[in-house]
Amino acid sequence: MIPATFSAALLRGVRSRCPRCGEGSLFRKWLKPRERCPVCTMDLTPQRADDFPGYIAMIVTGHLMAPLIIALSVDYAMGPVGMLAIVVPLAIAMMIGMLQPAKGGVIATQWWFGMHGFVKERLPEVPAEDNRAG
């Protein structure tokens, strides 16, 4: 079923599910999107995530690592070797772990806003009169 809100569609994408039906898997391999959703058969070839998931992963990782680096150097007076031994593997793991959810989110965003040849789909809006108790 088509999600009611952008955040619902985005959450489906972040969880590597088709943003339209929420059931079919979005990826054939780790970062290789399917050509069609296996459940609702939506065409996924218009997606153009390009480098954007990588930038999202770098920005989020950088913002999460900065306080850790500051805490390790100020509070624990850790030297550069110990710092690199902790920070570099952690940053690599975080970025690798974030790539697929970020790409799913980018594809879901492109689908929701009808970008790059995706068909913009919305549930029909409920008129205000129907919300009143009667």
Residues that bind Zn ion (CB under 5 A): 18, 20-21, 24, 37, 39-40, 42
> Which of 5, 3, 15 is closest to 105 using CA atoms?
15
- CB nearer Zn ion, residue 10 or residue 18: 18
Instruction: Please report how the helices 80-112 and 6-14 are oriented relative to each other, as an axis angle in degrees rounded to 10.
Output: 130
CB of 40 to Zn ion, least distance (A): 3
Q: Quick check: 45 and 116 in contact, CB under 8 A?
A: no
At closest approach, how far in Å is the CB of 49 from Zn ion?
A: 17
Q: Which is nearer to Zn ion, 42 or 57 (CB)?
A: 42
In the complex, what is the shortest distance from the CB of residue 72 to Zn ion, in angstroms, rounded to a whole number?
A: 44
Kindly tell me which of 41 and 73 has the beta carbon lying closer to Zn ion: 41
Question: Least Å distance between CB 126 and Zn ion?
Answer: 24
* Close Cβ partners of 17 (under 8 Å, ≥ 6 residues apart): 23, 24, 25, 26, 104
Instruction: Provide the total of helices (H) and of strands (E) in the chain, helices listed first.
Output: 3, 0
Nearer to Zn ion, 26 or 98 (CB): 26
Helix axes 80-112, 52-74, angle to 10 degrees: 150
